[in-house]
Amino acid sequence: MTAEDDVRFLALLVHRGHLARERAEPLLRELKGGAALDELLVNDVGWDDAKVQKMRRTRGGEEPEIPGYEFLGRLGLGGTAEVFRVREKKTGRSLALKILNGHCTQNPSMLKDFVSEARLLEKLDHPGLVRGHGVAKSGGTYFSRLELIEGSTLLELQESGTQFPEDGAMRIILEVAEVLKYMADNNLVHRDVKPGNIMLDQNGRVRLIDLGFCAAQNTRSMDDSAAGTVQYLSPEQAEGGAAADLRSDIYSLGVTLFQLIIGKLPFEGEDDQDTLRKHVMESLSSRELKSRGLSPHLHYFIEKMMAKDAEVRYQSWDELTADIKSNLEGRDSLDYSKDLRPKSGVFRRPPTRRG
């Protein structure tokens, strides 16, 4: 192991959240002076030799080791966690293991949200949601066990070139709305509806994932911050401090519908603050919708779902789903199979990249 290797490994430990940057800087200076990293981690940081060796073996958690599980590859990487395909040795079944990253483990609020999401998924029972099998800790590693889903998110499909026809997109939105209705019936708001959190499994069924921002209806954030992903926030969320409200989920689902049909977001700013401002201040571009030859019905759905004033939007999931079902029942221009893929082949079979 060369000094250069140790410098790279120290950088990896910082990147993965095992060491704070300010804690690593004096170690870097000593490394450049000829000190050995393993000894510094034991003597200066306070790790025991077993922890140091595990960090070496797993490359700081890039190749995890958790007793009872055989790791078969990484399925996905997010801002707070990584998801791995595993085989549970005791039962032989395949699962997805969601492992909280080091930065978030050290943040009490993020750790609490991670545990809450895992416990919530255990309680909820809907075919459009990922089934949760509990949360656990191994050493300093927190992880949740999830149903393994073979498929891809709508965002991954779009990025790989898939185009969504109007009817196909509406059927997907209808299925997502029905999952969100189930959550609302259980007094829950998702708060992070977006194409990256909606999967099509290998049979073409819609699955809603990632309940990390989920909250009870009418819950208000303590710090007035906006919960969710900037590009999909409703105006009231963008302004911060808004209580959790299903009408905000309806707005985010409207943004998702716009993105599926048009191929881009309705509001894109130079930075997050500019994007938030546009959600609050700018009108939806009718030109984008009219120039695509879309039906007046679709135009109406998007504009009503994305109304700036929450009182103008659909006020319930029942109202929205009834409208969509009524519209779809009147369409016969495309023959759809039960798994959402039109016979014209517009949908390709989703690549099995994540769970």
- The answer on pLDDT for 298 being more than 80 is yes
Highest mean pLDDT among 147-151, 278-282, 285-289: 147-151
pLDDT of residue 195: 95
DSSP state of 232: G
Measured distance CA(172)–CA(263) in Å, rounded = 15
Q: By C-alpha distance, which of 202, 211, 153, 155 is closest to 180?
A: 211
- The answer on pLDDT for 290 being more than 70 is no
pLDDT of residue 244: 77
Residues 6+ apart with CB under 8 A from 322: none
Measured distance CA(160)–CA(123) in Å, rounded = 34
Measured distance CA(51)–CA(70) in Å, rounded = 20
- The answer on pLDDT for 282 being more than 50 is yes
pLDDT of residue 147: 94
Taking a C-beta distance cutoff of 8 angstroms, is the pair 246, 316 a contact? yes
Residue 338's pLDDT band (cuts 50, 70, 90):
very low
**Tokens (6 digits) for 16:** 């993965």
- The answer on pLDDT for 354 being more than 80 is no
pLDDT single digits (tens) 218-273: 876 654 455 678 889 888 887 776 777 899 999 999 999 999 998 888 877 666 67
Highest mean pLDDT among 7-11, 25-29, 176-180: 176-180
Mean pLDDT score of the chain:
84
Taking a C-beta distance cutoff of 8 angstroms, is the pair 257, 195 a contact? no
- The answer on pLDDT for 340 being more than 50 is no
Residue 351's pLDDT band (cuts 50, 70, 90):
very low
The residue assigned the tokens 């939806």 is: 284
> Per residue in 116-126, is it b (16+ CB within 10 Å) or e — as a string?
ebbebbeebeb
pLDDT of residue 350: 40
Q: What are the CA-CA distances from residue 110 to residues 61, 113, 214, 287 (Å)? A: 18, 5, 13, 41
The residue assigned the tokens 């959790």 is: 244
pLDDT single digits (tens) 57-112: 888 878 888 999 999 998 888 778 889 999 999 999 999 999 998 888 888 988 99
The residue assigned the tokens 């099998």 is: 133
- 56 or 224: whose pLDDT is higher? 56
**Strand 206-208 with 198-201, pairing:** antiparallel
pLDDT of residue 287: 64
Residue 336's pLDDT band (cuts 50, 70, 90):
very low
Find the mean pLDDT for residues 291-316. 88
pLDDT of residue 348: 39
Taking a C-beta distance cutoff of 8 angstroms, is the pair 75, 85 a contact? yes
Domain 151-329: assigned CATH number? 1.10.510.10
H helices of the chain, where? 3-15, 21-32, 37-40, 49-58, 102-105, 108-123, 154-159, 166-185, 235-238, 246-262, 272-281, 286-290, 296-305, 317-329
Q: What is the pTM of this model?
A: 0.77
Residue 281's pLDDT band (cuts 50, 70, 90):
low
pLDDT of residue 269: 66
Find the mean pLDDT for residues 167-171. 94
CATH 3.65.10.10, applies to 69-147: no
Q: Give me the numbers of helices (H) and strands (E) for the chain, helices first please.
A: 14, 10
Find the mean pLDDT for residues 23-29. 89
- The answer on pLDDT for 149 being more than 70 is yes
pLDDT of residue 283: 63
Measured distance CA(21)–CA(63) in Å, rounded = 22
Find the mean pLDDT for residues 129-145. 92
Residue 19's pLDDT band (cuts 50, 70, 90):
confident
- 267 or 340: whose pLDDT is higher? 267
Helix axis angle, 317-329 relative to 166-185, nearest 10°? 150
pLDDT of residue 62: 80
Q: By C-alpha distance, which of 215, 208, 196, 105 is closest to 157?
A: 196
pLDDT of residue 219: 76
